[in-house]
Amino acid sequence: MTMHNRDRRFFTSLILPALASAILFPAALLCRAGAPAGQPRADSQPATGPMALGSVKTFMYQLQNIEDPAALDALAKSNYDLLVVEPTALVTGNAGFDMKAMLAKLRAGKPDRIILAYLDACQAESFRTYWQKSWKAPTKTAKGVPDFILTPDPDGWSDDYTVAYWDPRWQAIFATDKDAQVHQVMNAGFDGVYLDWIDAWDFDTAVAEARRQKVDPAKAMVDFLLLIRKEARAINPRALVIQQNAFTLIDADPRLKDAIDGMGVEDTWYSGKSDATWTSKTAGDVPNKDRGESSTAARLVQYQKFLAAGKPVFTIDYCLDTAHAAGVYAEARKHGLVPLVTRVTLDHLTTTPP
């Protein structure tokens, strides 16, 4: 299955100081009491917190250039109900980035919007703050150091390495330590987490290692998601957990319905090439010609299982052609989905808005 991790290393020595002064807002903007996830808010209710996830009609997904004040300002001025963004302070060299101020700016014009932190739940990324000097990247034939780092990203994204996600050492780094990734973003004030590479449960290398260790890869993945949910909700009882892709996991372990609040899926109709830039012709418009479970028709059937369980499904397709985009928006909505059409680089606001 195609995954789209992004190279989120930033050139910030000049940008961060400017950003800090550009996005300082009163701390009171961060004090928010939200409605329970899945419970629509009455029209008369004051906008004192994030809207219900099921009320979201539009969303935006941007991982790069968030540290640029102009890009952040454009995102803040947009009218999207939900934003999925890079938590920049988790990138090496960016520890001083003020995520609370960023969130305040993003909420200032639309206080009830939901803002989720993008996290790669099942890959170690060598540009993250947790990556230590003693660690070594794996190769296609050898594990890395520590040995829970299994193999390079199968789609060729640099600096991303699939891990044994059931390993307690990885789970501590990602979810349970006091400075774990999940703790950092929830303490900063994000409304929840958007988790990539959940497909690891069905990825050959991870499956082989799980079986070698006598681990059920599907059960272990749902256990991990439940752990992430527990840790996030210990900080914010209304924290949202959204998985990306892995839309067949629900068949392998029905407990998934208790572990997540929604699902994001890429490439239902169109994808893009991993090495593309925003202006590249290959940044989108690659039609889904898959057969079997990854075909568009099979995906649409699978998505209905999540909708039936009360879990919204957010689609991300990559197009440059406005006719393709219009077709995606129409088809997705016909099936009860919440669509976004952008470009595979995820570094600008989409030019094909709904």
How is the chain split into domains, by residue range? Answer: 15-342
Per-residue model confidence as pLDDT tens digits over 19-62: 344 433 333 333 333 333 333 333 333 346 899 999 999 999 99
* Total-model pTM: 0.88
CB 3 within 8 A of CB 155: yes
- Tokens standing for 124? 């170690």
Per-residue confidence band for 67, with pLDDT thresholds at 50, 70 and 90: confident
Residues in the chain: 354
CA 180 to chain CA centroid, nearest Å: 16
**Domain over 15-342 is classified CATH 3.30.720.210:** no
d(CA 203, CA 164): 11
Is residue 14's pLDDT more than 50? Answer: no
Q: Can you tell me the distance from the alpha carbon of 267 to that of 318, in angstroms, rounded to the nearest whole number?
A: 7
Burial class (CB in 10 A: 0-12, 13-18, 19+), 237: exposed
Instruction: Give the C-alpha separation, 223 to 205, whole Å.
Output: 19
What six digits make up the tokens of 34? 């939200």
The DSSP H or E segment spanning 115 is strand 114-120
Residue 214: which of 163, 162, 164, 145 has the closest Cα? Answer: 164
pLDDT at residue 238 above 80?
A: yes
